[in-house]
Structure 1
């Protein structure tokens, strides 16, 4: 089913007699498998408002991200939160949609400086599980009243409602960028270097460590970037070498999309922890973690593990190691059989789980929107 507008979307949901598998571009096949009829938002496509001067954009949820990026680039602007393209990692095809990006909270490396998807989402329109059309927020940052459904929908994975339209704040593309790269640091030393850089006054927009390389990104006006890169290398990151402009952009595209794991065997976990706890987690896991990528200064850890390990892709071991650290882990890549058996998203404490159930019952009383995708 591919409704062409919001009214049709509402009619489809009201008429549904069974589960619906909500899908944008189909590029993020994450979560427990959903047995239901596919409801695609691809027909809800198109930009309805773009005001470059106000840096605001309104688009249908099914609008391809690539289309938006081209439109914004013509005006020297971009999506601030650097959405990832995980097709290579997940082995999927199609094209990412802006509704899918918001629904999955797909924030990239720039989150440490600019913020997450939810921070740039000004308003949403969506249809809940009862077929009601709801809206929240507006076209300017101050126009947010009542319940903050904007932030509630960001990262809800289509379990509370089906997005039909999103309003976004965008940002200018900087004149240039430079990445300082250090070689051979251990994860603990890399996190220490990233923390020092992020604690400096030089406005870091990316800090990651992978394959023995520690990468620190600076963006802005050419003269400012050159000064900050020199000062950072001299005062904070001795021995780091600059990678500039297009080469820097290519480096961060690979980090954003976790390309180092694309095509490699095994399950992939996405783990959020306190930055200084990332190396501790990897050390505690020992040979379970074949490879690790540290992003967000060490606060986001991507792990590649043997999917057959312990019969649960390492879920028990990873979550046991996380328990004293207070983080959470999501199984981003595994076979459908593993995802049906293993809790993909971090199990919630009982009080939080009760709140989540209450929200789902409120917005999807029949339980038809991506049922079971995020767990019970």
Structure 2
């Protein structure tokens, strides 16, 4: 599979732009491959808009300088509505450098009713958004996007962009049951995004977003981590936008291939005097790999926080223990698991790093400051 990934990288350079034009996707650009100047911010807050559960009794805390405000009851004034929870993730990111502020929405949960409901209850202002990011092409992270755009496009900035890790975001995915049968896994339709007049930027290389955040680009696999079995991908060309000529001949035969997540990227911030906050929405390619990539491209070695989904819920106990040990070696100030990290990860992380773990839920607010 590593050879296939390199082949895609080679082929895409010559074929991608021609394929995009032929397919009629005028609202698409590819991020510049030049080295980036990593920005620094003074403050970052993360509001958990959508996660799998809401704990109204979850207490706030301050761990190694990171402030967590519990979500509280988070219900409407008439008590008829509460936060919606589902298998998925959406994070509202607010950053500040001196007087300059930027807001980014990272991922959109599984369904639009959940994210739209929670935006209202948590009093998040979509009109304040400067950029959108989708972490990878799984429906529990992009499923709410189109409905979100249909609801709020009129108040979003006219030139707002969606930053995506690569072409694989737009390919059809399936899941395989224990019986061997494939079930529907969803597809992110690029034409629907373009119809909302949102430009897609493919961040296959590290990319600075709005002068405050940066993405990792494709994540190198150089740790002991491995991709745990999950979805399969159909790479053959389709009307939704998958494939611009840089997949292998075998992949284009229409056979389902194990998902290697070559398009997954992490979103990062460099907090002045504190170090990197690395947000891995699912971490299929490995959370340690993701952090190392952020360190390499930024030149910043200090890890302030590792945040998000780490996809270790299905991990065998011995592998989980090993990976938590590798995370500990990174010496993060805090580890904040969400979504697919799993209760088993939370317990193991608390056992190995008892003074560094923050447990959150839908509605939680995290603040990182210089």
Same-fold status (TM-score > 0.5): no
Q: Which has the higher helix share?
A: 1
TM-score (norm 1): 0.27
Q: Quick check: which has more Rg, 1 or 2?
A: 1
